[in-house]
């Protein structure tokens, strides 16, 4: 019975480690033109259970937080980015979604530039994924 208890204890630790494994990192960079009058980037990120709040990211700065996948592997985060006069130029999109086969502990890097929003995973090649569009106030 003692060996069974020890086995179950360590088995439980392994299961918890797989469920609550390494956190993924979300980085949001403001690389908008600092010579523009309105170069701050507004960011608000949410999931089905969390609202990360409203943040104003200065040029050259980063807003970041960790994401841990839920037990059911249905984790999804989306963000709204806005900039310009009265923050009327922006985009809303998914920034993280659990994908089977993608290693945990990755860095999801989003960069806001004048011509759009760029993405790269784990220091890979950066590529443009979204254009800015008019947003309601």
Q: Look at residue 9 and tell me if it is in a domain.
A: no
* Domain at 95, CATH number: 2.60.40
How many folded domains does the chain comprise? 1
| 17: pLDDT strictly greater than 70 | no
Residue 15, domain member (yes or no): no
pLDDT surpasses 50 at 126: yes
| Domain assignment present for 126 | yes
In the predicted structure, residue 61 carries a pLDDT above the cut 90: yes
CA dist 130 and 70 (Å) reads 27
Residue 41 falls inside a structural domain: yes
In a domain, 79, yes or no: yes
Answer yes or no: is 38 within a domain. yes
In this prediction, residue 102 carries a pLDDT of 85
The answer to whether position 12 is within a domain reads: no
Residue 18 reports pLDDT greater than 70: no
pLDDT of residue 67: 96
Write down the pLDDT at residue 20: 56
pTM: 0.84
Mean pLDDT of 32-56: 96
Mean pLDDT, all residues of the chain? 89
In a domain, 1, yes or no: no
Query: Which residue segment(s) compose the domain that 72 sits in?
Result: 22-134
pLDDT in tens, 81-105: 999 999 999 999 999 999 988 888 9
Q: What is the residue-wise DSSP string for the chain?
A: -HHHHHHHHHHHHHHHHHHT-PPEEEEEEE-S-TTSS---EEEEEEESS-EEEEEEEPTT-EEEEEE---TTS--EEEEEEEESGGG-EEEEEEEEE--TTSPSS-EEEEEEETTEEEEEETT---EEEE--EE---
């Amino acid at each position: 019975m003692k060996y069974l208890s020890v086995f179950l204890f360590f088995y439980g630790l392994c299961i918890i480690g797989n469920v609550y494994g390494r956190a993924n990192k979300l980085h949001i960079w403001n690389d908008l033109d600092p010579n523009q009058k309105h170069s701050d980037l507004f960011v608000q990120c949410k999931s089905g259970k969390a609202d990360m709040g409203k943040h104003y990211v200065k040029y050259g700065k980063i807003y970041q937080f960790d994401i841990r996948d839920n037990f059911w592997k249905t984790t999804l985060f989306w963000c709204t980015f806005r900039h310009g006069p009265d923050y009327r130029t922006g985009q809303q999109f998914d920034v993280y979604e659990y994908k089977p086969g993608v290693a945990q502990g990755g860095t999801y890097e989003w960069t806001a530039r004048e011509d759009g929003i760029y993405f790269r995973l784990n220091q890979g090649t950066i590529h443009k994924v979204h254009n800015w569009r008019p947003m309601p106030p």
